[in-house]
Amino acid sequence: MAVIAYLTDIEFGSGSLAQLPGRMERLRISRPLLVSDHGVVSAGLVDKIVPFLPEDLPVFLDVPSNPTEAATLAAVELYRNKGCDGVVVIGGGSPVDLAKGVALLATHQGNLARYALIEGGLEKITAEVAPVIAIPTTAGTGAEVGRAALITLEDGRKLGFVSPHLIPKCAICDPELTMGMPPGLTAATALDALSHCLETYLSPRDNAPAEAIALDGAVRIWTHVRAAFHDGSNLVARTALMMGALEGGLMFQKGLGAIHALSHAMGGLKSPNLHHGTLNAILLPAVMAINRPMAEPKFERIEAVLGIETGGLVGALNDLNHELGIPIGLKTLGVKEEQLSLIVERALADHSHATNPLPLTPDEYRQVLLAVMH
């Protein structure tokens, strides 16, 4: 077990869940709002943290798979009515993002939209954000150490709320919580994390230490995802995936790219309801292909550390998607061609668009989408 201090404090390793009471005490959280979702409850994971929490805590479980403004406001109302002084969240990226929204609105005035990055919200979010302790149950989103929350507003826009003050004050990363995760969810979350590592590495922002961490995360995921997929009880593989996902999340400040611009845009659709990690896995090969001419040396470095023949990354990603049972295209998920124009419009407005290696045009975004429609 290790304690890591990088952007925030991280308790990492099997059994680290036991550190929760001490972390709450340090942050002076005596009455947290517990945020999770019904799936995490059904999996028995909420029961695992109950022994480490005070009794009779308020609990919010109605978290949509893509967090919404309405759900965030409902949780904020519960937080205030019950006199809470912090948030403990256990789950995947959706509960963690909603928890960040609660911590923001519980301490800041005005509607949620004013704090969105594209609305100039970065400077409006202060250190008054309520403390959050995040406990991930998937090895994918990196939200437990990320500075952003993605929340769909009432007007249908899925916007990013970004600030260093939104990074949870502590992340407790216990790979035992991911044991037995279904193969499909294992694959989608791991490839979500891989997309974080690759996109942040390829971001044109200059940050050499971040790039080193991103490559390390990519190697861990690439090396161990198959073992975790085929054997959900493999703790070595589960630990490697959790560290890889954590490393990808630590690199968010370097910026993502077109994969996330598009997946954020599709995640805000009213129908179909789409899984973020699955979208990223489908988009990953096509976006890598269109970006390669702008960053050839970095692509060669990725292939070298992953043990892939030079020029073979896109093919290897396609092969991995096939091996892990990722859906073959967006049509299989219910996305329709008449929705593509709206998706492109929203991708161009997304905060991840700015750090893609190639500044994609509307036609190039549409080209990527058509390549993965099938």
Same domain, 225 and 357: yes
Same domain, 226 and 152: no
Same domain, 140 and 211: no
Distance CA 342, CA 266 (A): 9
Same domain, 214 and 75: no
Same domain, 52 and 189: no
Cis peptide before 272 (omega within 30 of 0): yes
Q: What is the CATH number of the domain that holds 143?
A: 3.40.50.1970
Give the pLDDT score at 118: 86
Give the pLDDT score at 4: 54
Same domain, 27 and 160: yes
What distance lies between CA 339 and its chain's CA centroid? 24
Same domain, 246 and 171: no
- Structural domain that includes position 15: 2-177
- Whole-Å CA distances, 356 to 48, 258, 264, 288: 40, 6, 14, 10
Residue 88, strand partner residues: 34, 133
Same domain, 157 and 204: no
pTM: predicted TM-score of the whole model, two decimal places? 0.90
Same domain, 99 and 162: yes
Same domain, 92 and 210: no
Sheet strands (E) in the chain: 2-6, 8-12, 32-35, 59-60, 86-91, 132-136, 148-152, 158-162, 170-173
Domain end: 156, 177, 198, which one? 177
Domain end: 177, 201, 224, which one? 177
Q: What is the CATH number of the domain that holds 256?
A: 1.20.1090.10
Note down pLDDT in tens along the chain; length 374 residues: 666 556 789 999 999 999 999 999 999 999 999 999 999 999 999 999 999 999 889 999 999 988 999 999 999 999 999 999 999 999 998 999 999 999 999 999 999 999 998 889 999 999 999 999 999 999 888 899 988 898 999 888 888 899 999 999 999 999 999 998 899 999 999 999 999 999 999 999 988 889 999 999 999 999 999 999 999 899 999 999 999 999 999 998 889 999 999 999 998 888 998 989 999 999 999 999 999 999 999 999 999 999 999 999 999 999 999 999 999 999 999 999 999 999 999 999 998 999 999 999 999 999 999 999 98
The tally of domains found in the chain comes to 2
Give the pLDDT score at 6: 67
Q: Which of 341, 334, 345 is nearest to 374 (CA)?
A: 334
Same domain, 164 and 65: yes
Q: Which of 282, 276, 261, 280 is nearest to 160 (CA)?
A: 261
Give the pLDDT score at 157: 84
Give the pLDDT score at 69: 95
Domain end: 177, 205, 220, which one? 177
Give the pLDDT score at 7: 78
Same domain, 202 and 317: yes
